[in-house]
Amino acid sequence: MPPNAILRFDSIQIIQSLPPGELQTGRTLFEEVEPIAINSRPSVTCRLNQVQTRTDLLQRLESIAADARTIPSAGVVGKAARLR
């Protein structure tokens, strides 16, 4: 993508899958991004999804993928911080 390209989106899904006692980086990211998202024009929906099991994670990813298939503007851009 060229450096001056514009990326438009209407929602942000943050998925956190961490055991208790770990640094809650997903929550930290959510707390930093949500106010920016709310104050954007048009506003952007920001959601923190906390999953505990592999099944929960796969179900959440499938839900996001289903939205991307049915909503024309719902592309998916992602980054995995750490997968085990």
Q: What is the dihedral of CA 43, 8, 59, 35, to 10 degrees?
A: -30
Residue 55 included in any domain: yes
Residue 34 included in any domain: yes
Q: Could you list the residue range(s) of the whole structural domain that residue 43 is in?
A: 24-70
Residue 1 included in any domain: no
Cα angle at 69 between 67 and 70, to 5 degrees? 65
The one-character DSSP state at 17 is: -
Residue 35 included in any domain: yes
How many domains would you assign to the chain? 1
Q: Which residues pair with 45 in a beta bridge?
A: 11
Residue 48 included in any domain: yes
Residue 33 included in any domain: yes
Per-residue pLDDT of the chain (84 residues; tens, 9 = 90+): 677 777 777 888 999 988 888 998 999 999 999 999 999 888 888 999 999 999 999 999 888 888 878 876 655 555 555 444
- Which pLDDT does position 78 carry in this prediction? 56
- Which pLDDT does position 4 carry in this prediction? 79
Give this prediction's pTM: 0.74
